Amino acid sequence: MRAASDKIMPVKPATDFAEAPWLDPKAVPFIQIKSLGKQFGDFTAVDNISLDIYQGELFTILGGSGCGKSTLLRMLAGFETPSAGQVIIDGVDITDLPAYDRPVNMMFQSYAVFPHMTVAQNVAYGLKKDRLPKAEIAARVKEMLALVQLEELAARKPKQLSGGQCQRVALARALIKRPKVLLLDEPLAALDKKLREQTQFELINLQYKLGTTFIVVTHDQEEAMTLSSRVAVMDAGRFVQIGTPLQVYEFPINRFVADFFGTINLFDAKVTGSTVIDKNTYAIEAALDKTGTLVEADCTHKLKEGDLISIGVRPEKLSISQKKPRGKNLTITSGVVEDLAYYGNRSIYRVRSHSGRIIQISAQNFQRTKELVLEWDDQVYLSWDSSCSVVLSE
Amino acid sequence: MGLQLFCGAIRVTQPKYNIPIGDRLWRWLVISLPYWWLAIFFLAPFAIVFKISFADPIIAQPPFSNFFDFSPGADNWLLATLDNYRFITEDSLYWISYFKSLKIAAISTVLCLLLGYPMAYGIAKCRPGMRNILLMLVILPFWTSFLLRVYAWIVMLGKTGAINSLLMKIGLIEVPLEMLYTDGAVYLGIVYTYIPFMILPLYSVLEKMDTDLQDAAADLGAKRWQVFLNITLPLSMPGVIAGSMLVFIPAVGEFVIPALLGGIDSLMIGRTLYDEFFINRDWPLASAVATVLLFIIVIPVMLFQSSQKEEAE
């Protein structure tokens, strides 16, 4: 399949966001998924999905359990046959290729390290199936084990390894054939928190070094946020939104995405006025439910007076204070501290507003104090800059 | 397997001094139960057989000489003789029987494995509801008498039996096939009887196997047969070994099947044993034959188990 002599060469990574290939109309997608679908009896697991992924991307598919993300990944790997559609990788239609013939490798959530083989044998397995010369297999295994820092453990059996070490064996084993695409199924889910943070950076570094296109499937929005060049949020077999983590977090297109990708406070509101700023921007004014507090916000689509919408505000965008804040473009509401959690660097407050709604605030603890600045049952004012209001009409 | 289990039990009985004496006694009783079972139903009978194997056959009731002679004036109080063992080594009949038994048991085990593996694999791959039905079908024959089932084969295989009459009726053969009272019939009988013992342990291993491992191998470039040889088969070895032992060990000493289905020349050791005990009434020689048989089977099994244990560690 691949030439035996090609060394691992650092390819210029596309994770240089200055030149995001998905914004370049001339860029040729590396992976093209065209109207892909999968039915299990009456159940539609993957519903007519189309997606372009570019060379060197670290693309994350994020969704809850049963949203079809794993089925999608298994179709890319060749373990499931699509009911409809096409998958093209690097110009070659692989839709009907069996798993063993695809230029794609996968790292399993369970790692699926072969328990009866040593670390070195596990890593060498893919090359052996390609019938490469022994000397070359040995050299490449050594190189790969060095890359994932497992050289000393080459002769160990998986039983003698920790979870993190197993994860690296699985990664090395999946990368050794130099696949065009590496699929990762919940790569960090089985690791504890400290190890996860460390592994996250290792994974990004590795991807940067190798230039391989990674497709990650996860249910963990934090994982998706930190790893990816782009994220696709998936629900009920469809992509709801595709974009960079920043785009998806700050500009969610609907309530589902806003709520799934991070935490958000959602207020029901009614549009009271709308003015055109330019082609894609409208400034609207809306009244929050019950309290009638007026909110100003920017919006990308036209809304008319009387439309029912949601105004979303992320917890960290809110300020909390006992004195009524003053300033331009501020939306201000008030309430009573019902719950608070002190995390050291920040505190999380749950405030019951006068409309009875619980609002969550995440505030940095800027000051060093002997006692909590705010206590339970304190009367507080909440405010946010109107640029932080997210208008959600779906 | 049994041995390992008991070794595990021994480790549990290591004294823990903070446990009250009553509890310890109770614990010891429960844990020692299998040992009592083995001692009463296995060790004691074997000791008796072992003892008789050193006696002389006499025409009396029971038909063997005393082991000890404490009568005054006897010049030797221990009346053991190795004559029976000497006789076994000298007469080729016994060696032929041993060899034939081992051969038939070994070939039957391989046949059971070849037939049972795909069946177990198939069952393990079914959806759960179907699995239980199929497992039930595997176990179902045990609900009828074993003897009855072997007799049924006589009806099937005989000269005027079901198979021959059918073949002659459709004109495939002119003369009835010689099927009953051959080695082939013995293999058929043993495989038919023992195959559930092969299928069940294989099924339990295959059913638990993580399919991600097979997918991972396919993902790394292994074709289906390679996935089987590299992953499925090695990981199912515990089941293969357990199933093979469960078939091989009883098959070596099998008496009923060769007696009913085998020819006159199908001299398996069980048959020889029977002849010595009941036809020749030579209990001491028969006991010696049984003792040798036990060692022929037990020693390789023990060696094999200890090597397996080392490998596992």
Taking CB atoms and an 8 Å cutoff, what residues of chain A touch B234? Answer: 116
**Which among A79, A104, A126 has CB closest to B215?**
A79
Residues B61 and B131 in one domain: no
**Spatial strand order in the sheet of A181-185:** A104-107, A181-185, A213-218, A58-63, A230-235, A238-243
Q: What is the CATH number of the domain that holds A71?
A: 3.40.50.300
Provide ipTM, 2 decimals.
Answer: 0.83
Nearest to A113 by CA among A70, A153, A172: A172
Q: Provide the pLDDT confidence category of residue B8 given band limits of 50, 70 and 90.
A: very low
Residue B290 lies in a domain: no
Taking CA atoms, what residue in A is nearest to B211?
A: A112
pLDDT digits (tens, 9 = 90+) for B38-53: 999 999 999 999 999 9
Three-state DSSP at A254 gives coil
- A-chain CB neighbours of B210 within 8 Å are 110, 112
Partner residue opposite A105 with nearest CB, options B213, B219, B222: B219
pLDDT (0 to 100) of residue A11: 43
Q: In terms of residue numbers, what domain contains B9?
A: 1-90
Q: Which residue from B218, B221, B235 is facing A130, i.e. has the nearest CB? A: B221
Residue type, A209: K
Q: In terms of domains, do A291 and A172 share one?
A: no
Give the tens place of pLDDT for each residue, B173-230.
888 888 888 889 999 999 999 999 999 999 999 999 999 999 999 999 999 999 999 9
Tell me how crowded residue B208 is: count the other CB atoms within 10 A of its CB: 11
- Is B295 within a domain? no
How close B226 gets to chain A, by Cα (Å)? 9
Q: Tell me which of A238, A259, A280 is where a domain ends.
A: A259
C-alpha pair distances (Å), A218 with each of A48, A166, A380: 20, 19, 38
- Nearest chain B alpha carbon to A130: B221
Q: Identify the burial level of B77 via C-beta atoms within 10 angstroms of its C-beta, where 0-12 means exposed, 13-18 middle and 19 or more buried.
A: exposed
Query: Which one of A229, A259, A289 terminates a domain?
Result: A259
- What is the 3-state composition of chain A as percent helix, strand, coil, each rounded to the nearest 5? 25, 35, 40
CB A48 within 8 A of CB A220: no
Alpha carbons A95 and A97: distance in angstroms, whole number? 6
Q: What is the residue type of B22?
A: G
Cβ-based contacts of B218 with chain A (< 8 Å): 78-79, 98-100
Q: Are residues B54 and B22 in the same domain?
A: yes
**Containing domain of residue A332, as a range?**
263-392
The upper half-sphere exposure of residue B81, i.e. CA atoms within 13 Å in the direction of its Cβ, equals 13
Q: For residue A65, is it within any domain?
A: yes
- Domain assignment present for residue B300? The answer is no
Contact by Cβ (8 Å): A210, A243: no
**Would you say residue B24 lies in a domain?**
yes
Q: Looking at CA atoms only, how far is residue A35 from chain B in angstroms?
A: 24
**Interchain pair A129, B220: CB under 8 A:** yes
Q: Are residues A253 and A345 located together in one domain of the fold?
A: no
Per-residue pLDDT of chain A (394 residues; tens, 9 = 90+): 444 444 444 444 444 444 688 888 888 899 999 999 999 999 999 999 999 999 989 999 999 988 999 999 999 999 999 999 999 999 999 999 999 999 999 999 999 999 999 999 999 999 999 999 999 999 999 999 999 999 999 999 999 999 999 999 999 999 999 999 999 999 988 888 888 888 888 888 888 888 899 999 999 888 888 889 899 999 999 999 999 999 999 999 999 999 999 899 998 888 888 888 887 788 888 888 777 778 888 887 778 888 888 889 999 999 999 888 888 888 888 899 999 999 999 999 999 988 888 999 999 998 888 888 888 888 999 999 888 889 888 7
Per-residue pLDDT at B16: 54
Interval B82-125: pLDDT, tens: 889 999 888 888 998 899 999 999 999 999 999 999 999 999 99
Q: Which amino acid is at B131?
A: R
CA triple A168-B233-B3, angle to 5 deg? 100
Which residues of chain A make contact with B236, given a CB cutoff of 8 A? Answer: none
Whether residue B287 lies inside any domain: the answer is no
Same domain, A247 and A316: no
Instruction: Specify if A2 maps to a domain.
Output: no
Residue, of B305 and B217, whose pLDDT is higher: B217
pLDDT score at B219: 95
Element containing residue A75 per DSSP (H, E): helix A69-77
Nearest Cα residue to A243 out of A189, A300, A295: A300
Do A321 and A239 share a domain, yes or no?
A: no
Number of domains forming the structure of chain A: 2
Q: What is the CATH number of the domain that holds A289?
A: 2.40.50.140
CA-CA distance, B301 to B295, in Å (whole number)?
10
Residue A112 has its nearest CB partner, among B213, B221, B230, at B213
Question: Cα-flanking dihedrals φ and ψ of residue A114, to 5°?
Answer: -65, 115
Q: Indicate the pTM of the whole model.
A: 0.81
Q: Are B218 and A177 a contacting pair at CB < 8 A?
A: no
In a domain, A1, yes or no: no
d(CA B217, CA B145): 45
Q: Specify whether the CB–CB gap between A282 and A309 falls below 8 A.
A: no
- Whether residues B215 and A77 touch (CB distance < 8 A) is answered with yes
Domain co-membership, A277 together with A387: yes
> Chain A partners of B215 at a C-beta cutoff of 8 Å?
77, 79, 99, 106, 108, 112
Residues B1, B55 within the same domain: yes
Annotate A169-189 with b (16+ C-beta within 10 A) or e (fewer): bbbbbbbbbbbbbbbbbbbbe
The contacts of residue B82 (CB under 8 Å, 6+ apart) are B54
At B82, list the tokens: 């190795």
Structural domain contains residue A10: no
- Indicate the number of domains in chain B: 2
Q: How far is CA A202 from CA A59, A180, A197, A221, in A?
A: 16, 19, 9, 18
Enumerate the β-bridge partners of residue A235: A238
Last residue of a domain, one of A204, A224, A259: A259
Final residue belonging to a domain, choices B90, B106, B137: B90
Residues A135, A231, single domain; the answer is yes
pLDDT in tens, B121-166: 999 999 989 999 999 999 998 899 999 999 999 988 988 888 888 9
Q: Say whether A99 and B223 touch across the interface (CB within 8 A).
A: no
- Residue B298 sits at φ, ψ, to 5 deg, of -70, -40
